[in-house]
Amino acid sequence: MAHPLLLLLLVLLLPSPAISSSTKRVQPKFPAIFYFGDSIFDTGNNNHISTLALANHLPYGRDFPGDRPTGRFSNGRLVPDLLNEKLQLKEFSPPYLDPNLSDEDVMTGVNFASAGSGFDERTSHLSHTLPLSTQVDLFEEYLQRLGDIAGDKEASRIVTNSLIFINSGTNDFTRYYRSSRRRMDIGEYQDTILGMVHEYVKELYNLGGRKFCFAGLPPFGCLPIQITLSGDPDRACVEEQNRDALDYNSKLEKMLPTLQRSLNGSKIVYLNAYQAFTEILDNTNRYGMFSIGVMIHSLSSSNVHPITCKITYTS
């Protein structure tokens, strides 16, 4: 299940819809939305690269329209799909690397996210996915196609008025930092990642982006894989890692207003993903989930692929 509170929080931050007095038709708040990040946002880009981080198999997609896996790391739709529909852009968020991407999809926004990726290129090297640097490069490539379809003036208008939504960083701290022979402490690495965030936003700004939404880190010490790796027989969340996430989020939230002031005409909104995920974990029934304990057990059992949730049947 996608994370509904992320959607709710973002919608609450948006301006009210424009309504035509003649038709009473609600107009989209943005002409397009562009998504960057990891598996929380990836709607299928990894299907088109050579990586083990794939969700094009069961049990993924069992509740997706058509009951089929699409590359989304979910049983159904993801936040980008839900947000696009909520804002009346389109039903889904198409992956940019889809060879069947239509001109209409190009005009209304595409998805550059890659599961297993991070801000740090070294994170993506571990699983052969697309780091934020490559995602930004793909965005620049996309702009050329958009200009060819809509013309340079209209393409510039679309990008300037669209939303750029970024959700990344979890893999940097759960995968690269904790698996590497690191030479810096967690605080120094947080500052390193924040420096990368600063540069990527500047690059996207220079490419025409003006409206940004940044999701902070979730309580990644509660991820099933982190709990399993901790070896705790009680399967409790790893509180040290959750504190690391909170410390990083505090730094990010303080940095973004300064970054906004340095980029004339920009608007950068911070989304408290930690609070949103905690709300869901603490109130599973309210969000239509069954036992977290059952979910965690199933993800860490012996018949599930260690990188994704691919079930391997044994006789």
Instruction: Indicate whether 145 pLDDT > 80.
Output: yes
Instruction: Indicate whether 175 pLDDT > 70.
Output: yes
CB 14, CB 144: distance < 8 Å: no
Q: Which CATH number fits domain 4-12+26-300: 3.40.50, 3.30.2310, 2.30.30, 1.10.8?
A: 3.40.50
Q: What is the mean pLDDT of residues 292-306?
A: 40
Instruction: Indicate whether 294 pLDDT > 60.
Output: no
Using a 10 angstrom Cβ sphere, with 0-12 exposed, 13-18 middle and 19 or more buried, the burial of residue 278 is middle
Per-residue b/e over 179-190, b at no fewer than 16 CB within 10 Å? Answer: eeeeeeebeebb
Instruction: Say what the pLDDT of residue 289 is.
Output: 65
Residue 130: band (very low, low, confident or very high) from pLDDT cuts 50, 70, 90: very high
Residue 292: band (very low, low, confident or very high) from pLDDT cuts 50, 70, 90: low
Which is higher by pLDDT, 263 or 179?
Answer: 263
Terminal alpha carbon distance of the chain: 30
pLDDT digits (tens, 9 = 90+) for 21-61: 444 556 778 999 999 999 999 999 999 999 999 999 999 99
pLDDT digits (tens, 9 = 90+) for 9-18: 444 444 444 4
Q: What is the CA radius of gyration of the chain?
A: 19
Q: What is the mean pLDDT of residues 142-167?
A: 97
**Secondary structure of residue 245 in the 3-state scheme:** helix
Residue type, 140: E
Instruction: Say what the pLDDT of residue 311 is.
Output: 39
Q: What is the mean pLDDT of residues 167-175?
A: 95
Where on the phi/psi map is residue 208: left (φ > 0), alpha (ψ -120 to 50), or beta?
A: left
CB 299, CB 29: distance < 8 Å: no
> What proportion of the chain, given as a percentage, has pLDDT over 90?
69
Write down the pTM of the prediction. Answer: 0.87
Distances (CA, A) of 82 to 59, 91, 199: 20, 8, 29
CB 90, CB 108: distance < 8 Å: yes
User: In the chain, what are the domain boundaries?
Assistant: 4-12+26-300
